[in-house]
Chains A and B, each alone.
Chain A
């Protein structure tokens, strides 16, 4: 295996929070699939912006406002480059990935779907890519179909063309927030198009950890959140193909999204403003831009390579130390997974496990991870999940393993 060229100690040193000690020992933050920590450059960019350039965007003639607008729009360009989209105005700022997916379901879905129309999802979706579609089932009587999973937590594509037959949309995650599975996005987009469906990609877990190229994928929509890729919370992205966005009715109505408003109606502004009603998260956009600069500085190929190294080390360490006492969900092949691991350990309930790990400052998530249909499919109510990012290293895996041992002492199984 090749090894990443990143100096992880130097990367970690750029995250102020990770320098913090709790009760005299360092933090081991293994919950980045939930939300990521922020590097100094992001914190500084936001502070600097608020201290020097903060002003309204778009509606004011003064120089300060122009400066703020430049930085806000500069962030949009950075997003466009990061995902290799064609045009800046295909990038819509939202609150988070959840809002991005709701925007598609609400606006594209209400304009294009009628009773009996089919939308295909997968069994490993986050609630954010399920509930907006369920709402259309209730409201319009559309039908949902589900791509099943193999036993090792990959998509079972055996019957994909049958499932997609007659479908209008295929909405799927590029990486599971529970299993860590990376899906074959390009192949799935092609299959959707072959069936005449559009391809909606939930990139919330994928974009922070991999090179993203919406043109190579030939996707139609991509949703993701800033807060999982070292940026601030409060801002997310919906990228959409220009023709689709242009043809869609607006989502929220209000200021900024209009060309004209009269007593008898309104007309919408051009993209992207059409989908950005109200005052946007201005400082957060600047922070998102700084986060993308930070990741580009590391190189996304290096980030991915490092996480494959950590994932491989985690799989071998945990299975060698605990054998059958640990059950890792999701694939073992690091080529098709990221460094997010849900697991069951010695019959100890995930809540109890995370409580005991917390005693050693090991932060893991316990619960259903907003994927209850997947939990049912796995036959569990909850899992513990350790998720690694570019600031975690193999030492963090060792600390996790030691902490797991200490859980056995208490529960004595």
Chain B
């Protein structure tokens, strides 16, 4: 069995204790709610997008340390970024989580996309039930982008 230190890396626990970009954005910001039907966790993602750039992002909701820290890191990573860069980042992140692309093929890591702190979530793949926790915020982000 993989050790818990692979899962609960210090940086993850830090984002869990001190989540970044918590809060809400008023309309016309786009807003999506993501549910993890297995555990009842909920995440709200609010986005301000101007001229193809995510100018502001806020995260609300409740969840476990993995879903909360992933949401917190996501918010840091996408703030101020062009939407197409963000989509590439989502793809890279999903690849790291062993999630296949739309055709069921593995996603090859794109070396041009930097994960930074998000690398800390790599250990989650060893705990397959937790992958859904880690990806919840990212899927909700995509939904919020669709609305934008």
Contact = CB atoms under 8 A, between A and B. Distances in A.
A352 B64 contact: yes
A351 B7 contact: no
A359 B41 contact: no
B81 interface: no
Contacts of A411: 8, 13, 65
A350 B38 contact: no
Q: How would you classify the secondary structure of chain B's contact residues: helix, strand, loop or mixed?
A: mixed
Contacts, number: 51
Contacts of B7: 355
A24 to B, nearest CB: 10
Contacts of A349: 63-65, 68
Given A349-B64, A351-B66, A410 B40 contact: no
Contact of B41 (A23, A355, A382, A412): A382
A139 B64 CA distance: 37
Central interface residue in A351, A368, A411, by most chain B CB within 10 Å: A351
Contacts of B68: 349
A319 interface: no
Interface residues of A, number: 19
A410 B1 contact: no
Contact residues on B (Cβ < 8 Å of other chain), bracket: 10 to 19
A356 B40 contact: no
B39 A368 contact: yes
Contact of A367 (B1, B38, B65): B38
A23 B13 CA distance: 26
Given A349-B63, A349-B65, A411-B13, A355 B127 contact: yes
A355 B1 contact: no
A150 B41 CA distance: 25
A381 B127 contact: no
Given A352-B65, A367-B38, A412-B13, 20 more contacts: A22-B1, A349-B63, A349-B64, A350-B39, A351-B39, A351-B41, A351-B63, A351-B133, A352-B66, A355-B4, A355-B7, A355-B127, A367-B39, A367-B40, A372-B40, A381-B42, A382-B39, A382-B40, A410-B8, A411-B13
Nearest to A369: B40
Interface string B41-83: 1100000000000000000001111101000000000000000
B71 to A, nearest CB: 13
Contacts of A359: 1, 4
A352 B42 CA distance: 16
A350 to B, nearest CB: 7
Central interface residue in B4, B7, B133, by most chain A CB within 10 Å: B4
